[in-house]
Amino acid sequence: MYKQRRYPFKSVLIWTKKEIIFFVILATLFTVLYEFLNIKWLQVPLTPVGLIGTAVAFMIGFQNNAAYDRIWEARKIWGGIVNTSRSFIITVKDSFYMHRVEAIKDESGEIKTITNRHIAWLTALRYAMRTKKQWEATYTSIHTKETFKYNVPEYETSLEEEMGPYLSNKEFEYVMSKDNKPNAIISLQSKHLRKLTDEKKFWDFTLLDLQKMLQELTALQGKSERIKNFPYPKQYGSIGYHFVHIFVFLLPMAIIPAFARMGLEIGTTNPFIGQYFIWLNIPFTAIVIWVFNTMLRIGLAGENPFEGSPNDVPISNIARGITRDILQIIEEDPKNIPEPFVNINNIDM
């Protein structure tokens, strides 16, 4: 997610610089047609346009609220994954003993296997969330353009490269053969825990606790998949988009005559300013259009919180943070703990 704390307004201007140029050109074109070519019929009353602007503002506000709800729900889901993952590994590590008081050593590497498999689950889940959907078109080209340079790890390396080191060859082949790879990994985890319980390495009650955690992880996975696989209803998004563009083309035809009348009134006391006052409508028109368009873009940016845009939930960094935490919990060699992802331009992905 984009974190520009010092100059937020500057980042918005950079984000919308092409639109700003277009709006200035549009307002200038209408002004030239009205003033130089004397096309005086190119005007509409300001009151109906104001009513349309009010309706558009309500529509965009509704869209932005709905989009924010999707982003916030996605962030809460991944916050739950963070907490449950830590609890799961801590419980596995501290409950690994037989039916006697003294603890036993993890000589066979069972704890590390379970931890690595959980990392594989995190990896498979974040790659599943980054899979492109047909309706995720808002930022299809932004990644290749230089509006904001940023790094999406899932677009740089393959799932096989990232997940392979954390699974055995047999488990890797099994997982890759399934459509829902995170679900397949949870299934393997459950079978392994059941096996360790049968071998008296876990208490039966501990198994119940661990199974509840797996159920919670499965539920969080399902909630994340629901947001990913169910798009924001297009009837709302498309209507808002078209309404804004109707407003964009109507607004200059309402503001320009108003500035022309104001220029005539000012000309009675100050002829020079009154003569050129109509041209001041250009920055005012561009600013009003820019505000409405930026509000629309903010809503569009939040519709799909996992597609890999600068405004999305930073699931890559969250997953890598969990990976580092749980490897440190089992006291893994620091050399084997992956470094945090490099964030370009303060954009967490």
pLDDT at 284: 93
Residues of the chain under the 50 pLDDT cut: 2, 4-7, 98-103, 139-146
Q: With contact defined as beta carbons under 8 Å apart, do 159 and 124 qualify?
A: yes
Per-residue pLDDT tens over the stretch 233-267: 777 767 888 888 899 999 999 998 888 888 888 88
Q: Tell me whether residue 3 is in a domain.
A: no
By C-alpha distance, which of 304, 336, 345, 299 is closest to 63?
Answer: 299
Q: What is the pLDDT of residue 140?
A: 47
- 264 within domain boundaries: yes
Return the pLDDT at 349: 60
Q: Which of 184, 185, 201 is nearest to 193 (CA)?
A: 201
- Output the pLDDT for position 175: 94
Give me the pLDDT at residue 326, please.
94
Checking 322-325 for CB contacts under 8 A at 24+ apart, the result is 322/81, 322/82, 322/85, 322/86, 322/122, 323/119, 323/122, 325/85, 325/86
* pLDDT score recorded for residue 148: 59
Question: What is the predicted pLDDT for the residue at 189?
Answer: 95
Number of domains in the chain: 1
CA dist., res. 289 & res. 23, Å (int): 7
Residue 234 sits in which domain range?
A: 8-346
pLDDT on residue 143: 41
Does a structural domain hold residue 1? no
Phi, psi of 343 (to 5 degrees): -100, 125
State the residue for tokens 């519709």.
Answer: 303
SS3 letters across the chain: CECCCCCHHHHHHHHCHHHHHHHHHHHHHHHHHHHCCCCCCCCCCHHHHHHHHHHHHHHHHHHHHHHHHHHHHHHHHHHHHHHHHHHHHHHHHHCCCCCCCCCCCCCCCHHHHHHHHHHHHHHHHHHHHHCCCCCCCCCCCCCCCCCCCCCCHHHHCCHHHHHHHHCCHHHHHHHHCCCCHHHHHHHHHHHHHHHHHHCCCCCHHHHHHHHHHHHHHHHHHHHHHHHHHCCCCHHHHHHHHHHHHHHHHHHHHHHHHHHHHHHHHHHCCCHHHHHHHHHHHHHHHHHHHHHHHHHHHHHHHCCCCCCCCCCCCCHHHHHHHHHHHHHHHCCCCHHHCCCCCCCHHHECC
Report if residue 2 sits inside a domain.
no
